[in-house]
Amino acid sequence: MGMKIGYISPTNPFIDKKSWSGTYYSTREALELAGHAVEWIQYDNKNLFLRIYNKIIYKLIYGNGSVTHSRLSGWLKVKTIREKLENYDIIFIPGQVDIVANLKTKTPIIYYTDGTVPLMLNYYWFNFTERAANEAKKLESQAAENASMNIYASNWARNSAIKEYKIDSSKAKVLPFGANLSYTDMEKVGNGFRKNEKISIIFSGVDWKRKGGEIAVNACKKLIKDGYDVELTIVGIKNLDNRVKELNFVNYLGFLDKEDKKDYRKYLDAWKKANILLLPTRAECAGIVFNEASAFGVPSLSVDTGGVADYVKNDINGKRLPLEASADDYAKEIEKWIDMKLLGNLSIGARKLYKEQNNWKVWGKLFNEMIGNRY
């Protein structure tokens, strides 16, 4: 029987497809697909006190750090929640660790996240003062204790939480993200590798440096030098350097807004033409883009870092190379895939992985199994 779930998020999860790479929207949809009634619980994250705290007070106390990783930030937000939390069977909170830490209710809290503070420091986050780092860890520890269940988007994050905060393993679960594209659109995608005249490689991400854009470009240059006919489609980067944009093998689509129907179609079309996702990312908590690739039967070539192992399985839907791998190493792997005719099997493996594991419908079923008869 479905539950009544109070869903806490900073923006409306019934409308906003952009925030947190669309995860607020998709997890809400997944909970509904799993048979639950979901209601959005709002809080005021723009009130005057919070703005003063974020802009001035936090910096005076902690120096450089993350304002959302402080106990006072969460307390100020929680004070603005008007709904009676006891009216819900569970409260679901994706991200927003400060809210999780400060919420006082008898209703069980389910916290969903893709990383931990110790993992993020000097990986995604840099130049934190010691005071800011310690406050963030204290907050996260408080959140882990306050939640009835902590769900992580990768084993990498779960293992860190158990180690750092001594969470009971029965309270810490893994539930990988799905693809942040409409589930119905993904159902219509056919299986099978597309035989294009060119090798169509796609790079998708908003942070050129962190996602390893230069490595991807240089890998394509090496492929061309070795006699392969390659097109590199670049999606998501707002201001791409002209030096890259003007390369004759680059097809630059810019940043595409999934809420805009025309842009969304353009994004889906790019995947329909692609043969390989090349993402030599330097840091990655999960990488929803790998599931989007798998949904279209596109193998992923990426890096063994962060939580990628739950999304890119070696020789099933692609390959993870070591962090120190060079552009030539990526080119060599792609050449192997082409010369040994491995792309077809990797494409089938990608689609299978998406259909059986990494989609939001399966996420909902697994969520139901996790909470079982507990609540």
What's the pLDDT tens digit per position in 184-218?
A: 676 666 555 566 678 999 999 999 999 999 999 99
Q: What is the dihedral of CA 30, 34, 39, 41, to 10 degrees?
A: -60
End-to-end CA distance of the chain: 11
Task: For 147-181, give the DSSP string.
Answer: -SEEEESSHHHHHHHHHHH---GGGEEE-----SS
Q: Decide if 252 contacts 240 (C-beta within 8 A).
A: yes
Domain count within the chain: 2
Q: Are residues 19 and 164 in the same domain?
A: yes
Find the range with the poorest average confidence among 55-69, 174-188, 264-278, 294-308.
174-188
Q: How far is CA 157 from CA 164, 305, 306, in A?
A: 10, 12, 8
Amino acid 374: pLDDT: 72
Using CB atoms within 10 A of its CB, is residue 263 exposed (0-12), middle (13-18) or buried (19+)? Answer: middle
Q: Are residues 209 and 344 in the same domain?
A: yes
Q: Are residues 150 and 48 in the same domain?
A: yes
Amino acid 195: pLDDT: 63
Q: Are residues 235 and 311 in the same domain?
A: yes
Q: Are residues 282 and 343 in the same domain?
A: yes
Q: Are residues 192 and 97 in the same domain?
A: no
Mean pLDDT, residues 78-91? 96
Residue 189, domain extent: 183-356
Mean pLDDT of the chain: 94
Amino acid 19: pLDDT: 87
Amino acid 166: pLDDT: 93
Q: Are residues 197 and 121 in the same domain?
A: no
CATH code for position 279: 3.40.50.2000
Q: Are residues 137 and 41 in the same domain?
A: yes
Q: Are residues 129 and 233 in the same domain?
A: no
Q: Is the pTM of this model over 0.85?
A: yes
**At residue 375, does pLDDT exceed 90?**
no
Q: Are residues 114 and 171 in the same domain?
A: yes
Q: Are residues 100 and 240 in the same domain?
A: no
Helix (H, G, I), strand (E, B) or coil at 132: helix
pLDDT per residue as tens digits for the range 91-146: 999 999 999 999 999 999 999 999 999 999 999 999 999 999 999 999 999 999 99
**At residue 246, does pLDDT exceed 70?**
yes
Residue among 93, 149, 143, 111 at smallest CA distance from 372: 149
Residue among 285, 62, 293, 314 at smallest CA distance from 158: 285
Q: Decide if 5 contacts 38 (C-beta within 8 A).
A: yes
Q: Are residues 117 and 228 in the same domain?
A: no
Amino acid 258: pLDDT: 84
Task: Find the helix packing angle between 130-146 and 155-165, rounded to 10°.
Answer: 100
